[in-house]
Amino acid sequence: MVRFGVASALVAAAAAVAVAATAATGVAMTIAGVASGNPDLSLLVRALDAADLIGVVDNADASFTVFAPTDAAFVSLAQVLGYAGQDKDEAFDTIVGALTELGGGDPIPTLTAILQYHVAAGVVRATELVAAGGYTPLAGPKVTLADDGVTLIDAAPAVADPKLVTTDVDASNGVVHVIDGVLLPTAVGGAGPPAGGGAPLPTIGRLVADNPDFSLLLTALTAADLVDVVTNASAALTVFAPTDAAFVALARALGYAGKDPRGAYDAIVAALTERGDGDPIPTLTAILQYHVAAGVVRATELVAAGGYTPLAGPDVTLAADEVTLIDAAPAVADPTLVATDVEASNGVVHILDGVLLPLAIGGAASPTPTAAPPAASPGVPPPPPSPTPDDDDESVCFPADATVTLASGDTVRMDTLVVGDSVAVGGGRFSDVFAFTHADADAMTAFVRLTVAPPAADACAAHPSSLRLTAGHYLSVNGRLAAASTVVVGDLLRRADGSSAPVVAVGVAVAGGLYNPQTVDGSILVDGIVASTYTTAVAPHLAAAALAPMRALYAVGGGRAGGWLTRVSRLAGLLPRGPLVV
């Protein structure tokens, strides 16, 4: 799977030198070491350094596959963007200039997206790449391997697709494949820097269409004829995007008893049809516009403003916890932010676990859209909507099928735990479950999904694993307690043996059940990762103090006291909220 030619031979020789050096010393280098030791990858190292990603690919506990563009690859990209020379430093400056223009003065978000497009979680060797017909990057659309077995097809049809030059360069934390071009996650123009139009990021509409957790949002946008609005490349919007689980939660608030997303959507449409005197579209449109703000409103600006003014409906207020969005439906739990600042070429997306409502549910009138968007910016969406978590105990829990380890060594599902079980909490220790602050088998919820690289010792055989928990649940992040909603790619979680577990992807997963067991220790090992039993619903020191009498009662009464303790230990609504990072 090697492409032949003079330039390719030189690059292959440089890669061989790196491999030989590794063999000579007997110590495998990290991916960062492989790149730094190859003079033909100097611009890749420079780009990783500019995006502050060197530490990620230098992490000995990580497991990545990196498709590494050569310096000549960066020069070729610069020439596509209008550069006429051959000097690699000038070429790099040309690329940075183009990305600065595309990024409204900041090249780093776009550069980071391009670099993440060159990385896959886990080890994907050449044979596995061929078998899979490509790979799924950390960010951006799938990269396809052409029938010739060497050409990687990206999302930029106007630019020549890169080819594999050298494959399976081993590193201590993964594998490197050297390529002769830069992979692009979206189209760029072929005659100089893209001005205004093509940008190396998908539109908001494309982000929604490509994420299966937004299938109902896409259906709603299509029904309201708003897809073109969020795919308009010249727009600048902020969209608060409810997940499928958010729509299911709304349907249940309207009386739907099932869990099926399609059935939930039909129930919502039926309710809107009744409210709209036979026509659901005006009310549906008003609800969707309530989730859009004109212009780009990032999380920091949302916090500074204390909320936002939507295109239609009353203002949405951001609560003091900086994750809950308060809408106009007091009878329905307010949504919370699950993930923020998902960049798009025409704005930014914040992901919600509930649907924002511009009018109280059960009111006599249906939501009436306020003034339409200005003619100069038709269809511009309003600011971020507020998620609708379960209104009981803030939905800060694990899903039913999350796994824990008993003192017997058995691995069991979260929903099979009972008071009195002794569970692993990390470091070889076990602790008794003395109560549950949440146990709801029927809930359907959007969880934060944190995918971690396999342990370095198992990097070749193991696959990345995931931990799912609600946004406000605490866990050990870079040695500190932090909420799941704050975790980003590159952060380090903690495994049972105390080793670091690098986060390689952050996403959203819909699952059934909400369970939060309380252990005497205050920690619990879930899906192989150490988590706290505390949440942002209650500051940890307050929660520990409040639960102290219950722990004492359990110590005296054992399992007989457990059922009563579970019934009285729902304290989230009685105490102040905790911070996101402790």
312/270 Cα distance (integer angstroms): 22
Instruction: Give the length of the chain.
Output: 582
The secondary structure element, H or E, covering residue 508 is strand 500-519
Which CATH number covers residue 403?
Answer: 2.170.16.10
Least confident among 9-18, 298-307, 384-393: 384-393
- Examine the pLDDT at 18 and tell me if it is beyond 80: no
Look up residue 210 and give its amino acid: D
Residue 335 placed within a domain: yes
H or E segment to which residue 431 belongs: strand 429-452
Q: What is the pLDDT of residue 70?
A: 93
Mean pLDDT calculated for residue range 238-248: 91
Give residue 403's domain range. Answer: 393-568
pLDDT band (50, 70, 90) for residue 190: very low
Same-domain pairing of 339 and 426: no
Is 359 a domain residue?
no
Q: How many helices (H) and strands (E) does the chain have?
A: 17, 25
What's the rounded Cα separation, in Å, for the pair 187 and 200?
6
Is residue 191 pLDDT above 80, yes or no?
no
Tell me: pLDDT of 32 over 60.
yes
pLDDT at 155 over 90: no
Is 164 a member of any domain?
Answer: yes
> For residue 29, is pLDDT > 90?
no
Tell me the pLDDT tens digit for each residue of 267-277: 999 988 887 78
Same domain for 411 and 545?
A: yes
Evaluate whether residue 364 is within a structural domain: no
Residues whose CB falls within 8 Å of the CB of residue 237, separated by 6 or more in sequence, listed in order? 204, 229, 230, 292, 293, 294, 295, 296, 346, 347, 348, 380, 381
Model pLDDT, residue 177: 94
Residues 30 and 80 in one domain: yes
Same domain? 340 vs 425: no
Parallel/antiparallel/unpaired status of strands 143-145 and 403-405:
unpaired
Output the average pLDDT for the chain: 76
- pLDDT for the residue numbered 23: 40
Query: Which residues have CB under 8 Å from 145's CB, separation 6+?
Result: 129, 130, 132, 133, 134, 135, 151, 152, 153
Residue 151 and residue 63 share a domain: yes
Nearest partner of 396 among 248, 507, 488, 516, judged by Cα: 516
Q: How many domains, the chain?
A: 3
Position 375 in a domain: no
Token pair for residue 562?
A: 């457990």
User: What pLDDT score was predicted for residue 46?
Assistant: 94
Of 145, 163, 179, the position where a domain reaches its end is: 179
93 band by pLDDT with thresholds 50, 70 and 90: very high
Same domain, 403 and 543: yes
Average pLDDT of the segment spanning 325-351: 84
Q: Decide if 378 contacts 287 (C-beta within 8 A).
A: no
Based on the fold, state whether residues 175 and 209 are members of the same structural domain.
no
The percentage of the chain sitting over the pLDDT mark of 70, rounded to a whole number, equals 76
Asked whether residue 377 is domain-assigned, the answer is no
Instruction: Say whether both 334 and 423 belong to one domain.
Output: no
Same domain, residue pair 213 and 175: no
pLDDT tens for 167-180 read: 889 998 899 999 99
Does residue 194 sit within a domain? no
- Ranges of beta strands (E only) in 150-309 are 152-153, 164-171, 174-179, 237-242, 292-294, 307-308
Single-letter code of the amino acid located at 13? A
Percent of the chain whose pLDDT exceeds 90: 18
Contact assessment for residue 188 and residue 195, using Cβ atoms and an 8 Å cutoff: no
Residues 159 and 29 in one domain: yes
Q: For residue 308, give the CATH number of its domain.
A: 2.30.180.10
Which is it for strands 152-153 and 164-171: parallel, antiparallel or unpaired? unpaired
Instruction: Judge whether 51 lies within some domain.
Output: yes
Q: Over range 509-522, report the average pLDDT.
A: 81
Which of 164, 179, 194 is a domain's end point? 179
| 114 and 234, same domain (yes or no) | no
**pLDDT-based confidence at 543, cuts 50/70/90?**
low
Last residue of a domain, one of 141, 164, 179: 179
Q: Are residues 161 and 78 in the same domain?
A: yes
The 3-class SS string of 320-380 reads: CCCCEEECCCCCCCCCEEEEEEEEECCEEEEEECCCCCCCCCCCCCCCCCCCCCCCCCCCC
- Say whether pLDDT at 399 is over 60: yes
